[in-house]
A and B are shown apart, each in its own frame.
Chain A
Amino acid sequence: MTRQLTLGQAINQALREEMRRDERVFIAGEGIGIGIHSDPRMATHGLLEEFGPRRVRDTPVSEAAIAGLAVGAAAMGLRPVVEIMFNPFFTIAADQIVNHAAKLRYLSGGKSRFPLVARIKTGAGIGAGCQHSHNLEAWLAHCPGLKVVMPSTPADAKGLLKSAIRDENPVIFIEDMLLNFVPGPVPEADYTTPIGVADIKKTGGDVTVVTWSKMLGVALKAAESLEREGIGVEIVDLRTLTPLDENTVLESVRKTGRLVVLHEATRTGGFGGEIAALAAEKAFDALRAPIKRVAAPDIPVPFSKPLEDFYLPNENDLIRVVKSLF
């Protein structure tokens, strides 16, 4: 049995199932119980009604305290799932996530564990400007000790979040808000999707496009056009940035001989560089064309609609770059 759900609804299902399954799971964040929006597409919608204020904790506007709450509660054996409302606000929680969640286990010599999930909402395209939209996944992936998950489909989101909640390590779970408007099939069953395993969302023989999160939709659209022109596109959806599924990327690159990385984050220092380096180091002999990146320009996310549209990589950008390889 599957149902058509948005990303937020799929996450809602995952939270509900895990909270029913495990009393140690609680959620905390700004406006997650009673918020300014009451929209059934939101990830935490209706959870306060089912689980009550003991397990659904609305917090003050205090990102450092929210993240520290998660670190401390996890150290004592709970399974916190905290929400950082928007990716740029992560910077206020960053000390707790980067210096504490990620490092305290290592500092303990493997004695303590911090099984927490920080859900972070992200993505340009909502017309909110650069202090609400800023994809910082490469920063997080650069921190050993964190797992970084960025689902692109509702079904993956549900399975990956359930894995994240059951994981013994800190997991950063980044959700693109525009995916809350794109329903997709989600199995009703209790399933998990493994962290650290990429997914080939479409097979093809001529070029590999590695992408994640909402750029999957861009890749799929571009692939459709390119197929009509006789170029077979294989789309690797990373789903998890760290730990990185190197094999799936490399196998695809060896098969097609061409690699384009597509991500929404800005180009310089983006995670695309890491994928390009991986292919250059380990599959150079298989490459028949230069590795290319399609990413946002190195600017803050602008507000005005035409400017924001210009910022976001689209299918025409990808099509143009793919064609340049032949």
Chain B
Amino acid sequence: MESGERRKLLRMMLLIRRFEEKLTDLSKDPRRIGGMMIVCTGQEAVAAGVGAALSPEDVIITNHRSHGHLLAKGAEPDLIMAEIFGRRTGYNKGKSGTLHIAAPEVNALCTTTVVGGNIPIAVGMAFAAQYTGKNYVTVCFFGDGATDEGSFHEALNLASLWNLPVIFACENNVYAGAQRMEEHTRVRDIADRAASYAMRAEKVDGNDALAVFEAMRKARTDCLSGAGPLLIEFKTYRWGGHNTTDAQIYQPQDEIALWKERCPIGKLKASLMEAGALAEEEYRRFESEAGEKVEQALRFAEASPWPEPAEALEDVFV
């Protein structure tokens, strides 16, 4: 990846970081935003790295922790924020809220928060590519906890059987709700689960944006050349709780501190600076640009109209 692209990757991670930090702050103020937020702080490298490796025609289907994936696929911060605020100008006219934002404009046709529910759908999306001969891959994002669901196993089996162009992107952030991985499965590497379906699998440092990008670019090329599905386990960590109201009583402070030292943004920043491809001043400009985009999104959302109550009756059927 050349340095211009790396800098773009860094800027995307900064945008995601600022976006999620803003939501974390806002969620403490019920006058501005309703309820809890599910954010991906600390996991930005997965979203940004995957997003950078995909083409516009590629399809993603994500889960409850979706903001980063959507931003990295090219969704507009303004329209995501307005949706989170429940406004008519949001991606889904306030029908979805933070949890299920669909942005068909960037081929994120649906987002689902039933854990594991998106995995069989990804198989259907990939089947459509194979059936029509169209040249796109489907990327399905889910966490380590979703791999305990039956839907995961049914879907991977079918995807493997039919050799479909789908990439299962598991973000292993160590926790499923309040359970550490060893409390919800004896499996040590989620990637191992692919063997049950004779499926290829990889383990990737999910805090290394370049490693994520490289793995994903190769996976995409392989998928499009008919190599069949792939399970990639991105090893990462959730700095915050499951959501912004989670007290994190189960997450050791020293563990959080350790992972903060492995900050994906810090890692890419350092490597760019080491290569002489980034100056501190420039980095600060990237930071303020990201912050300004988020502030702009917030202004747009808060200035946007609420839907009329009767709009609740629309959009059930075509």
Contacts and interface: CB of A to CB of B under 8 A. Distances in A.
Contact of A68 (B102, B120, B131, B317): B120
Interface stretch (A36-44, A104-112, A179-187, A313-321): A104-112
A72 B127 contact: yes
A77 B128 contact: yes
A64 B92 contact: no
Contacts, number: 152
A60 interface: yes
A100 B316 contact: no
Contacts of A95: 114, 117, 151
A202 to B, nearest CB: 31
B121 A62 contact: no
A99 interface: yes
Contacts of B155: 64-65, 68
Interface string A109-129: 111110100000000000000
Contact of B120 (A26, A64, A145): A64
Given A76-B59, A77-B128, A144-B316, A104 B112 contact: yes
Contacts of B47: none
A145 B314 CA distance: 11
Contacts of B102: 104, 107-109, 111-112
A68 B150 CA distance: 12
B154 interface: yes
Interface in B231-260: none
Given A106-B315, A109-B315, A112-B102, A60 B158 contact: yes
Interface string B274-318: 000000000000000000000000000000000000000011111
Contact of B112 (A64, A70, A99): A99
Nearest to B127: A73
B158 A72 contact: no
A109 B126 CA distance: 23
Interface in A82-116: 95-96, 99-100, 104-113, 115
A113 B318 contact: yes
A62 B162 CA distance: 14
Contact of B121 (A59, A75, A113): A75
Contacts of B316: 105-106, 144-145
A253 B208 CA distance: 69
B109 interface: yes
B137 to A, nearest CB: 12
Nearest to A102: B316
Contacts of A104: 100, 102, 110, 112
Interface string A48-63: 0000001000011011
A280 interface: no
B129 interface: yes
A70 B155 CA distance: 12
A113 B95 CA distance: 15
A112 B91 CA distance: 12
B161 interface: yes
A71 B104 contact: no
A233 interface: no
Contacts of A108: 92, 95-96, 102, 104, 109-110, 315
B87 to A, nearest CB: 11
B163 interface: no
Contact of A59 (B111, B158, B317): B158
Given A64-B120, A68-B155, A73-B128, A109 B91 contact: yes
A325 interface: no
B125 interface: yes
B124 interface: yes
B95 to A, nearest CB: 5
Contacts of B151: 64-65, 68, 95-96
Contact of B157 (A62, A110, A115): A62
Contact of A72 (B90, B128, B132, B150): B128
A93 B286 CA distance: 47
Interface in B96-122: 96, 100, 102, 104, 109-112, 114, 117, 119-122
B157 A76 contact: no
B123 interface: yes
Contacts of A169: 317-318
A30 to B, nearest CB: 12
Q: Which of B110, B112, B114 has the most CB of A within 10 A?
A: B110
A80 interface: yes
Contact of B92 (A109, A115, A144): A109
A145 B129 CA distance: 26
Contact of B104 (A65, A80, A112): A112
Q: Which of A59, A76, A96 has the most CB of B within 10 A?
A: A76
B106 to A, nearest CB: 12
Interface string B77-93: 00000000000001111
17 contacts: A64-B151, A64-B155, A65-B155, A68-B119, A69-B120, A73-B128, A75-B125, A77-B128, A100-B110, A104-B102, A108-B95, A109-B102, A111-B92, A112-B102, A112-B110, A115-B318, A168-B318
**Chain A to chain B: the 5 pairs with minimum beta-carbon distance, closest first:** A72-B124, A68-B120, A109-B92, A76-B128, A110-B315
Given A80-B124, A100-B121, A107-B92, 8 more contacts: A60-B161, A64-B151, A69-B124, A71-B124, A96-B120, A104-B100, A109-B90, A112-B109
